[in-house]
Structure formats: structure tokens, C-alpha cells
Structure 1
Amino acid sequence: MDKLGALKMFVVTAQLGSFSRAAEQLGKTPSALTKAVNHLEAELGARLFERSTRRILLTEIGRVYLETARLVLQRLDEASEEIEQLQHGLRGSLKITAPLAYGRAFLDQVCDGFLQQYPQISLQVDLCDEFVNLLESGYDLALREGHDDLPGLIARVVGSNRLALCGSPEYLARKGLAVSPQTLDQHEWLLYKHPLLSREFWWAERDGQRLSLAQPTTPRLRSDNYDLLLASALAGRGLLHTPLWSAAPYIADGRLVRVMADYEIDPDSFGPHILAVYPSHRRATAKVVAFIDYIAAFLAVRGLSSLHSFDG
């Protein structure tokens, strides 16, 4: 019997928990799937499923075998795709997840340029701020802020996640008060609400001295939506801690002014980098590498590489 075909039938049957549903999905007969699983069990000398008249359940051996079978089939699919790309150029689809704020800030431009450069590749880009488990979700790649020591994942630094404190010229003129550690509590604030961020203080550093700056207890606006806060900052509603990857074009055209620029603001649990992340058990295909290279070059040109500084 075709071993790879039997493995595929076993995997689909295990996923659906039914010979009949798996047969319908694969366009086979239930007896063909039963025969394939029986063949694998005979070869192993162990049962993969516990069967009853109403349902089937994986045995402990079946669960171990399922994990390996999935990996084998996945690696073969990746190898076939890689060979096709070597023969015919980069093609196929990429499934990517990223934070919401990346879309407006730079990812829309990255995707547009990448699709122009690689016309035979299609993208699925899902933007969300919820944590996505790459080991289970089926994404080829995730863009994240954070640290690059992630278990089970390979992370490549593609940009810097440095923070800046900014306000619009209108707000600063209306307030008429310099922004310094001593005057922070007298300013109007726009605060990003996130479970990874402290609600009590920020850390900042200047000339090797690390300072704890208290957060205001009654900000003018607090939200878990960064784009809403950015729009409010541009409208002159107050000061905002903002990543430079987002603020850079507004600083450049004068719609935002960077204040306390001689202080390095700690990005807290978000970490100092923008990362491109993929599962360590999956070899990076040529199209994944191409996307990572493209976004790293895009951010570097705009002075947002981890190797560059931004002088405002």
C-alpha cells in the first residue's frame, strides 16, 4: 500500500474523528480509509485508534504517531513547493499575522511593494492584537514586537521598536509648558492600555541614569486601540508615547513634535525589536525569506532598522 497515502488518510481521520467524514473530504470510501489505517497498525504492531460503534479515539500511540505523520507530510509539501520555486521562480501564497497598528504604519506599503516585486505570490494578511500561537495556527510568518529568544520559534530582527514621546505643535502651543520629567503630571495624556504594560510608571534613561516616570492617574484619553490614540495626538489632544515606526512620517512632516528626545524610553514588555517569526520545526522557504528580506530593507531605508538611530 502507498505509505504516504495511508499517512494522509490517517491524519485526516484523526483530525475529523470519523472515517466517514474523512472519506468524504478525501473523496475516498470509508473502507479504503479503514484499510489504510489497518495497514499502518499492522506495520507498527500497535493500535492507532480505539473504535466503537459511535466514535473513534486516538490511542496514546496514535497521538504520538499523528504528530510525526503531520510533520512528515508537512515537510514533503514544503520540499515540493521549494523545488517548484527553484524551477519556476517564487510563487504560491504566504499567510501572515501582525499587530493592527502595523497595517497603517508601514505594512500596507510593504505588502504593495512586495506584491509588485513578486507577481506570482499572493498574501493573506490578518491583523489582530491577540496572541497567535504559530505552532498551531498555520501561519507562515508573524510580525511581532518583542524579544528574539522565543521557545519553538525562529525570530529575525527586521526593525527597531524604539519609543518617542510626541505631541502636535497645536497642543504644545496651547499648553505653553515645556515637557520634562518635572512637568509630566501637568500635561494632558493619551495612554495606550495593554495587559503587558505597567499602569503605574514608565522607565526612561539619559546619560546612563535610569528614571522611573509616574503615569498620570487621569489621562485625557485611555484606549486599547493605538490608531485612535494616534489620531487624537495628531488632533492636538495631548502627549502620546508612540513607536518611531509609527511616528516617523508625522515627525518628518511636522504634524508631531518629539519632546524629551534625549531620553531613551523603555519599550517595556514589548521589547526593543520588530521581529519576523516562524516555527522552528519549519524550514524557512524562499518566499518567507524573500518577505523577511523585503520588510527589513523597507524599514532600514526609513531609518527604522535596529542598526539605525532616529534623530527626529
Structure 2
Amino acid sequence: MDKLSALKMFVATAEHGSFSRAAQQLGKTPSALTKAVSHLEAELGARLFERSTRRTLLTEVGRLYLETARQVLQRLQEVNEEILQLQHGLQGSLKITAPLAFGRAFLDEACASFLDEYPQISLHIDLCDEFVDLLESGYDLALREGHDDLPGQIARVVGNNRLALCASPDYLARNPAPVTPQTLDQHHWLLYHHADLSREFWWVERDGQRLSLPQPSRPRLKSDNYDLLLAGALAGCGLLHTPLWSAAPYLADGRLVRLMADYEIDPDAFGSHILAVYPSHRRATAKVAAFIDFISAFLRQRGLS
């Protein structure tokens, strides 16, 4: 019995919870999968599944073996891809997750440019603001804000996450009160709502002096969707704390104006960096390294690193 094929059939059975469903997915017969798993059990001297007429469940030994089997199959796939890349250039697919706001701000343009430079690589990009466990989800790479000290992951800084206070020229024309630490309560605010962010105050610094400024208690618009708030700021609805990676093109073309620019705003709970993160048990394959280098250079060219 081919050990590699047996491992694939074992993993498929564990993931589907059924020999018949796994066999259908692999294009094999249930008896072939049963024989493969039995071969592994005989080799180990322990049962991998508890079988009954209604269900197939992993034993404690099976759960331990499954984790290692997945890693072995994943590493073999990566090695095969690396060998192909050495022989034929970078190719294959990359599965990436990133925050929603990255898409509109820079990732859409960066991905298009990357695909143009690497025509044999395909991208699968999922944008979501929920935390994604890279060890369980099958993603090759995550782009994230802030810091990442989770075990089993490697993080590389690819850009900065500095904050700016911005508003549109239309809003400022209709609300001529100066924007200073003393007049913030005289203005309309657009507030990003997130469980990890403080709802009480934010810190700024100028000439070595730090100030704690209260968050607006009654914002004009509050949302957990940053793109909605950015659209509101561009439409003249109020002041918005925004990352410079998002505001940069609108500051450049005049659709937004930076306020209190002589104050350095402390990074929020997301931290001061944009990170590329991948599981430490997978080496940075050539295609992953190429994407990280590309996005880092892309952000650096725009003054965002």
C-alpha cells in the first residue's frame, strides 16, 4: 500500500466523517479507503477511527495522527510546487485573507499589478474583518494591521498604519470652526466601531507633549464598516480618523484635508504596522515570498512603509 495515498485517504475520511463521502470526493471506492486506513492502523498498532453503522469518529490517536498527516501532505505539496517553480518559474495559486478596507485602499490595484508581473500565479483573495485562524483555514498568507504575536505564525512588516484626522473641503467650508484639541466637540464625527478599539479617548503628541482627547460621545455616523465611513467623509458628513494608507490618494487629489497635522496620533489597538503573516510550520515558499516582497515595494513606492 502506497503510504502517501493512504495518508490522503485517511485525511479525507477524517474531514468528511465518512468513508463513503470521502471515497466519492476522491473518486475511489469505500472499500479502498477502508483498506488504506486499516493498513495505517496495522502499522501503528492502534485504531484511528471508532466505526459504527451510523458514524465514523476519530479516536484520540486518530486526532493526533491527523494533525501530523495534514502537515506532511501540505509540506509535500509545497516542495512539489517549489521544484516546479525552480524548473518553470513561479506558478500555482495563493490564497490570501485581508481586511475589507485594504481592498479599496490598495489591494485591488496591487493584486492586478502582481498578476501582470507573475502571469503563471493565480490569486484567491478573501476580504473580511473577522479574525481568521491561519493554522486551521488553509490560507497561505494574511495581511493584517498591527502586531501579531500568536504562536505558530511568522509576521513581516510590509507597511505602516499611521493615523490621520481628515475631513472634506465641503465639510470644512460649512463648519468653519477651527479643528483643535479644544474645539473637537464643535464638529460632527464619523466613528469606526470595533470591539478592540477604545470608545473613551485617543492620544496625540506634539513637541513632546501628550494629550488624551475624548472620543465623541454622540457621533453623527457610527459604523463597523470603514468604507461606509470613508464615503461619508468624502461626502462632507464630518471628521474621520483614517489610516494614511486609505486617505493618501484623497489627500493627494484634494478630496480630503488633513487636520491637526502637527499632532502625531498614537496608533490604535490595531498597532502601527501592516503585516504579512503566514504559518511558521510552512516555510515562506517562493510564491509567498514574491507576494510579500511585491506588496512591500508597492506600499513603499506610495510612501506607506
**TM-score per shorter chain, which class?**
over 0.9
What's 2:21 paired with?
21
Q: Which amino acid is 2:248 matched to?
A: A
Give how far 1:149 is off.
2.4
Give how far 1:54 is off.
2.2
Give how far 1:150 is off.
2.8
What's 1:80 paired with?
80
What's 2:287 paired with?
287
What's 1:54 paired with?
54
Q: What SS does the aligned partner of 1:283 have?
A: coil
Aligned pairs (5 A) from 1:61-76: 61-76=61-76
What's 1:10 paired with?
10
What's 1:34 paired with?
34
Aligned pairs (5 A) from 1:1-312: 1-305=1-305
Q: Residue deviations 1:115-154, cap 9 Å, x none?
A: 1101111111111111111111111111110114232211
Give the Cα separation in 2 of the matches to 1:31 and 1:220.
64
Q: Which amino acid is 1:19 matched to?
A: F
Q: Which amino acid is 1:212 matched to?
A: S
RMSD: 1.2
Instruction: Answer whether contact 1:148 1:156 (CA < 8 A) is retained.
Output: no
What's 1:308 paired with?
none
Instruction: Answer whether contact 1:156 1:277 (CA < 8 A) is retained.
Output: yes
Structure 1 residues 170-179 or 244-253, which shifts more?
A: 170-179
Give the Cα separation in 2 of the matches to 1:195 and 1:114.
33
Q: Residue deviations 1:197-231, cap 9 Å, x none?
A: 11111122222322210011111111111111111
Give how far 1:3 is off.
0.9
Give how far 1:241 is off.
0.4
Q: What SS does the aligned partner of 2:73 have?
A: helix
TM (norm. structure 1) is 0.95
Give the Cα separation in 1 of the matches to 2:207 and 2:153.
35
Give the Cα separation in 2 of the matches to 1:189 and 1:25.
53
Give the Cα separation in 1 of the matches to 2:288 and 2:114.
12
Q: What SS does the aligned partner of 1:166 have?
A: strand
Q: What SS does the aligned partner of 2:230 have?
A: helix
Give the Cα separation in 2 of the matches to 1:206 and 1:132.
37
Give the Cα separation in 1 of the matches to 2:235 and 2:45.
71
Instruction: Answer whether contact 1:157 1:273 (CA < 8 A) is retained.
Output: yes
Give how far 1:5 is off.
1.1
Give the Cα separation in 1 of the matches to 2:100 and 2:5.
40
Give the Cα separation in 2 of the matches to 1:23 and 1:129.
36
Give how far 1:173 is off.
2.3
Q: Which amino acid is 1:6 matched to?
A: A
Give the Cα separation in 2 of the matches to 1:279 and 1:140.
8
Give the Cα separation in 2 of the matches to 1:299 and 1:284.
20
Instruction: Give structure 2 stretches of 5+ with no counterpart.
Output: none
Structure 1 residues 48-57 or 183-192, which shifts more?
A: 48-57
Give the Cα separation in 1 of the matches to 2:24 and 2:40.
21
Give the Cα separation in 2 of the matches to 1:7 and 1:202.
53
Give the Cα separation in 1 of the matches to 2:104 and 2:168.
19
Structure 1 residues 5-14 or 201-210, which shifts more?
A: 201-210
Paired residues, number:
305
Q: What SS does the aligned partner of 1:268 have?
A: coil
Q: What SS does the aligned partner of 2:165 have?
A: strand
Give how far 1:264 is off.
1.5
Q: Which amino acid is 1:47 matched to?
A: R
Q: What SS does the aligned partner of 2:194 have?
A: coil
Identity of aligned residues (%): 82
Instruction: Give structure 1 stretches of 5+ with no counterpart.
Output: 306-312
